[in-house]
Structure 1
Amino acid sequence: MSKQSKKKVQENFLNFNFDISAYRLLGRELITDRITALFEIVKNSYDANANLVEIEFISLNPLNDTSKIIIKDDGIGMYFEDLRDRWMVIGTSSKRRNRTSPEPYLRKVTGKKGIGRFAVDLLGSKLTLSTKRKDENRWIYLETDWTKYNELEEQQLSLPLGMEEGANKKKDFFTDIKNRYWFGKNDDKAGHGTILEIEDINDPWTEDDIKRACKELARLVSPNKGIQKYPFNIRIKSEYEGMKDLEIKPLSYIEFATISIELKSSKEKETQEIAVFENGKLLKKDTVKQSFGLIDFYLYYFDQPAKRKFKEKFNIDIDGIKIYRDGIITTPFAETEADQNKQKDILGIDKRRYSGFFDKINSRDLLGFVELTDENNAGLIEATNRQDFLDNKEWRSLKDFIIDQIHQIEKCLKNNKEQIRKNTKSNLNRATADLSGIKTLVKEVKETAPKELHEKLQLIDSSLSKLQGTVNKSIVDYTKLEEESKQKESLYFSLVSLQTYAAMFSHMTKHTIGHVLRDAEYFSSRFPNEKLEGRFKVISSRIYDEFLTLRKGVDFMLKYAQTDNEFEDINIHDLINNLFISIYKPTFDLNHIKSELILDDKLILHYNKKALEDIFDNLISNSIKALKTVKEGIIKCSGVIENKKLILKFSDNGLGIHSDDRFRIFEIFFTKTAEDGGAGIGLYMVKNRIEAMQGTIEVTDSEFKPNGATFKIVLPFKK
């Protein structure tokens, strides 16, 4: 509408009002990125039963007086009462009361907070809103100038303390600012929906900015729950080539994936499908309904060739798992960072420490879609800022579930690599045997062949010898590579144990030096004194004992400079007792922990000492964390010989292990003590060390029922 025609209409004004729930909201600061702002506006169009949303970028790089963003939908539009009572009311609860859009679409609406209108402010300072219902005869127009709100805020903040309450000074409020509205002609029946014309654009939009907006908007609708009957389409118009009239469509991923897992749930049976790697295969099994509710989960793994094909097809990167509710993305969406390395990792896939070790996969290898519903997942609540979920037991349980399903893929990949490794080694050995057979055959042929063929047969025999030498060298190199890989893994385990012990050793050293300093100060200030001779002897003995403790700690640290290949006879009682009495005693005393060792002092194991110390060092460290809130803690180790096997039980009376976690406790990066520095590596290392000894470890019923945890360790015993 022209400025001249605007003057002819009667000027009316609307003011923003606050719903009773608005105290929970932080207003515009919740939407901090313009891509997120676009998302919020487009989601409003989805809730309004729109079939098509058009986003037009006009003259946005560089910015000038004609720069605009126009967002137009063909949704149901608004009556004047809707504009007054919903759009102009912050935190309005209409969508919270009515969670479906009008018939016949009956979409599950996505807006619950009533803050989407503030998204406009992130795009530009001035808005002209046009809206019309299909059964109305005229359009309604509303102007909002966000600069007035900013000016008011700056004005109020600039007043000296107390002046805003001066005697005759009227204080202006957010709700006092007038927003002009008017009606169009009565005979304008064409079209319906809502149009947002945004001017005074805040920032230029480059070609890359709009491409990223397209990429994010393509994720709005779940690719697994496409809207067929009432489709939701998004069209981009801009000055850039390829985006002058671009329709955004959900992407199809399945055809490129190396491994696909599609897990469904049953509301009738209250069961949830899970993926389990068993007997060399990735299987689907039904389990009970989880604490987070019932979900459908689509997970796709891409190896390097698959990633290349995917990139060539869609020109976008593989970027992890997205979460949808009732078919529309919840979070994380509209990442403010275009750089993948800086994007959010709310599921903790990449936060698993040392993710490059031991066949770990990360979000750059995975695409996934978690399908939630309002009905089945009420406990999973999106944070108001749209970038995370509320941290409750349901959310933590869902994260654990997702990580576990990723781990099943990791186990499958590890098994595949192991099979390839075995087949490669087997093929190399078979090639050696085949070459020997061929050489023998050539020799036999040479004995009966005409003399004119001898020279050629000799060349063949010589070539076979060279080839056989090459294959034999390959076998030697391959074996050496395997050994180096094992040594690197062993070094990694030692570093993990060293990290745990170093913190404790630092505390021990500080304590010991503190005791020695106090005693030395006593000597310095009072020696010589015949009357205190007895006291001096006690203090001298104590200083000697403190330095013995410190030396034991240093010796224990020095073992990390040793190799894991050195085997020796080890008194298992003395090894554990040294950890209990000498190494960990200061920590036990500080935390009121008692240790108990019931083990024959003549039991000898022939193994690497450092590896055994790693095992019990990590078990002790785990128990200390579990005893954090226990007043009188106990750590106990007992052992017996049965059928030429040493059976050890390692127990504590701490928090224990939940039954749901027993099958996962030995998995790498699984931890319940992250706040205490736990990285989920210790028990994984313990299990691998014990299995390298041809032993086993498992969680059994606690000796300290109903609390605590007990690990049963079985080791082959020869002495």
Structure 2
Amino acid sequence: MSLKKEKSIKFNFDVSAYRLIGRELITDRITALFELVKNAYDANAENVTVEFIDINPLTPNSKIIIKDDGIGMQFSDIKNKWMVIGTSSKRRERLSPAPHKRKVAGKKGIGRFAVDKLGDKLVLRTQKKNSAELLCLETDWSYYSKLEDSQLKLNFEEEKPFFTDVENKYWYDNGDKEVQGTTLEISQVNEIWTENDINRAFKELSKLVPPNPSKTNAYPFNITIKSPYKDFDNVKVKTQLIDFATKKVELTFDKKKGVQEILQYKKGSLNKIKVPERPCGFLKLTLYYFDQPAKSKYKKHFNSEIDGIKIYRDGIITTPFAEYVADRNKQKDILGIDKRRWSGFFERLSTRDLLGYVEITDENNPDIIESTNRQGFVENEAWEELRRFIIEQIVQLESFFKNAKNVERTKTKSGLGAANQDLKILKREIASVKKEASPKVQEKLRSIEANLGKIQGSVTKSINDYSKLEKESKQQENLFMSLVSLQTYAAMFSHMTKHTLGHILTGAEYFYNNYPNPNLEDRFISISKSIYKEMLKLRKGVDFMLKYAKSDTELEEINLKELIVNLFDNIYVDRLNEEGIRTIVEIKDNLILNYNRKAIEDIFDNLISNSIKALKNNNEKIIKCSSLTSSDEVTILFSDNGIGIKEKDKHRIFDIFYTDTAEEGGAGMGLYMVKTRVEAMQGNIEVIDNEFRPTGATFKITLPFKK
């Protein structure tokens, strides 16, 4: 029987909690300002004024005053909501009171501590309509700071007040029954506010609601800024509309049918298709792309930069931005748009080319959760899928514009060629006319001929320069493809080398310890043969890697069966044996392709690598490659009985940067590279019903003959 009497103990907050949930949590002044303005929105305010007094330079009279005409608070609200850390009031009541019924923006219950980032002292004045009393509350953060400093000098075990023990003064003043709302008067301002700072606050507050919201608010929400600066003296913050875009894309969803719109680029056309709901939930996405002329017009008209994509929940911005830095290259990129790998290729779009907004809701996207410091989102599957969704749409746009540029380049090249031909014809006609012309006319014609020669020379040079540029661009892309394949193969080669050298070392050690010994002659011969085979395997691996140093424009006759068997039996043999994977090759011995060897090896190298990953958790593991031929094409089927491809992902597996094997090092490049290589051969690749159903995947590659 236990002699111990159970007791209880409570958690307490150290007095330093004021800065942990204030200035050290919300470390950007504009974010702090946003939090306080959003509180006014949640309080049904229709008008908010943000006034800056004596903020450059700072004086004892420096103040920031945020005043709204919302519903105000009574003492019970102050006691049970404002003074409670992490209050659940807005999580319980997700709509503001009637008639506005706004979906409230705050949920964490700590946004009001953003005041500490702006100044050390707060006097809150608030009043409900029809109340004759104006409730006032004073919070002096400098007192908390002094108390914290004094406690550091005390013995740790000494009694000292906790955060929740500190008293905050409140009182009542006379009020006007016709007035309602809340005023936050922040004094002992922490930092100077320059005109640029006010300008930034103005621009960011203009993004509080989306530029073209899907729902029109029945009740307005007006923000006015007052400051000592001429351009921001009593100026109303207007929602900044988006104009001058080169292309606009809008995606929506149908919840009843359970489908989400996405973009799909195919054969020169950018289309919308419908796919099942993604793990991030249903959402709306509006994207605006700006080419260089459009950027110039936008910047000139709005005096603002193109700055990427914002996320809105129920009509109000979630995280307004990451913390501000003057150098845009150092700006945080929470969506990963500017940090995509291999960014030097494929004419990718960045946040300086795109404006846009994502519209999510509590109902449809409950698992997308803003981080407490308002500088990002909680890392989970829903957030990761949302980022992936946005990037995928941008990739489709990139493919569309890349094709458009290629078409334009082809037209330009064709136009230059036609112009060159026209100049030749014109010169011949002048030469013909010149024979019968008078000496005076001939002299004029010779001058014209000379000028035409110069023009033709310039056109010819332009054609040659254009062709050279095209060739260099193609070489860059081919180099990139080789690097992607080399990355995949390098890991395999390292694995193979480790095993091969291990076998060679074991045999060499046996020789070292036992040779000469006539009684072990047969054993020596057997080990010598084994070492020889391992050395041949190693040489084949080296030869395979050296192909990346060769030009990938050289064509040769390639026996497809021998190429694939070499990959299975020499290059990947150790990994396949280690994983217990059985391979089947059903290709005719005489199937010859006349193409670049490296390009074809790249295709099957990546397919094999993908299959090995897909078979990871199988008991029985099979990879099969077979072919069918007709009079005008060859069809190659590459299959495995691995985890397969989800129906909802089949439309995007060939997209650049798409991967579902990121944990195993997948970069989303392999299948994109395979598709690019196949299409360069005038062929086609697609996913079809798998021959190892119900699991697995089959890729169907079709290549035309005589092309």
TM-score (norm 2): 0.90
Equivalent pair of 1:18/1:89 in contact (CA under 8 Å): no
Determine the C-alpha separation between the residues in 1 that align with 2:570 and 2:576: 10
Identity %: 59
Contact 1:18 1:91 in 2 (8 A): no
Instruction: Tell me which amino acid in the other structure corresponds to 2:497.
Output: T
Aligned residues: 690
What is the aligned partner in structure 1 of residue 6 from structure 2? none
- The alignment status of 1:175 with 2:164, answered yes or no, reads yes
Q: 1:596 aligns with which of 575, 584, 588?
A: 584
Report SS of the residue matched to 2:185.
strand
Does the residue aligned with 1:318 lie in a helix, a strand or coil? coil
1:586-627 CA distances to partner (integer Å, 9 max, x unpaired)? 222333333332223333222111111111111112222222
CA displacement, residues 604-655 of structure 1 (integer Å, 9 cap, x when unaligned)? 2221111111111111122222223334432222223232433221112222
Aligned pairs for 1:436-451 within 5 A: 436-451=424-439
Mapped partners of 1:611, 1:289: distance in 2: 37
Q: 1:111 aligns with which of 106, 121, 124?
A: 106
- The structure 2 residue matched to 1:515, chosen from 503, 508, 520, is 503
Cα drift, residue 429 of structure 1: 2.2
The one-character-per-residue Cα deviations of 1:457-478 (angstroms, maximum 9, x if unpaired) are 2322333344334323433332
Shift of the 218–153 alpha-carbon distance from structure 1 to 2, 3 Å rule, reads same
Looking at structure 2, the residues matched to 589 and 288 of structure 1 have their Cα atoms a distance apart, in angstroms, of 38
SS at 1:121 equivalent:
helix
Distance 1:205 1:526 in 2: 84
Question: Contact 2:44–2:100 (CA<8 Å) still a contact in 1?
Answer: yes
In structure 1, what residue type is equivalent to 2:61? T
Equivalent position amino acid for 1:346 in 2: I
| 1:657-696 paired onto structure 2 within 5 Å | 657-696=645-684
Does residue 41 in structure 1 map to residue 36 in structure 2?
Answer: yes
Q: How far has the Cα of 1:324 moved from its partner?
A: 0.8
Q: What are the superposed Cα offsets for residues 34-78 of structure 1, whole Å, 9 maximum, x if unpaired?
A: 322111111101111122222233344454533332222222111
TM-score normalised by the chain length of structure 1: 0.88
Match of 2:79 among 80, 84, 92: 84
Contact 1:298 1:368 in 2 (8 A): yes
- 1:101 and 2:90 aligned: no
| Equivalences for residues 604-619 of structure 1 within 5 A | 604-619=592-607
For 1:125 and 1:458, the matched residues in 2 are separated by 86
- Alpha-carbon distance in structure 2 between the residues aligned to 1:634 and 1:159: 71
Deviates more, 1:489-498 or 1:430-439: 430-439
Give distance in 1, aligned partners of 2:620 and 2:193. 63
Distance 1:695 1:113, change over 3 A: same
The partner residue of 1:70 within 65, 69, 73 is: 65
Describe the SS at the equivalent of 2:318: strand
**Alpha-carbon spacing, 1:279–1:507, altered in 2? closer, same or farther (3 Å):** closer
- With over 3 angstroms needed to count, the CA separation of the structure-2 counterparts of 1:100 and 1:239, relative to structure 1, is same
* Alignment match, 2:52: 57
Equivalence for 1:235: 224
Q: How does 1:492-531 map to 2 (within 5 A)?
A: 492-531=480-519
* Cα distance in structure 2, aligned partners of 1:196 and 1:475: 68
1:639 aligns with 2:627: yes
Amino acid of the structure 1 residue aligned with 2:170 = Y
Aligned-residue offset at 1:382? 3.1
Show the counterpart of 1:6. none
Q: Is the 8 A contact 2:322 2:332 kept in 1?
A: no
SS at 2:232 equivalent: coil
Q: 1:594 to 1:204 in 2, by over 3 A?
A: farther
In the alignment, what sits opposite 1:550?
Answer: 538
Q: Of the candidates 289, 296, 305, which is equivalent to residue 317 of structure 1? A: 305
CA positional deviation for 1:264: 3.9
Amino acid at match of 1:345: D
Residue aligning to 1:482: 470
Alignment match of 1:250 (pick from 216, 219, 239): 239
Matches of 1:631 and 1:174 in 2, distance apart?
Answer: 59
Change (3 A) 1:200 1:593: farther
1:648 corresponds to which residue?
A: 636
Change in 2 beyond 3 A, CA 1:610/1:277: closer
Q: Does 1:371 align with 2:359?
A: yes
Distance 1:98 1:399 in 2: 29
The answer as to 2:689 corresponding to 1:713 is no
Could you tell me how far 1:558 is from its partner in structure 2?
Answer: 1.1
Aligned-partner Cα distance in 1 for 2:495–2:93:
59
CA RMSD of aligned residues (A): 3.0
What stretches of structure 2 of length at least 5 have no aligned partner? 1-10
Q: Please list, as runs of the form range in 1=range in 2, the aligned pairs for 1:186-225 lying within 5 A after superposition.
A: 188-189=176-177, 191-225=179-213
User: Is the CA contact (8 Å cut-off) linking 2:484 and 2:670 kept in structure 1?
Assistant: yes
The one-letter code of the counterpart of 1:116 is G
In structure 1, the residue corresponding to 2:336 is in which secondary structure?
coil
Q: Which amino acid aligns with 2:113?
A: F
Using the alignment, how far apart are the partners of 1:157 and 1:512 within structure 2?
63
After TM superposition, give the deviation of residue 259 of structure 1 in Å.
Answer: 0.5
The 1:69–1:77 alpha-carbon spacing in structure 2 relative to 1, beyond 3 Å, is same
Q: Distance in 2 between matches of 1:454 and 1:190?
A: 96
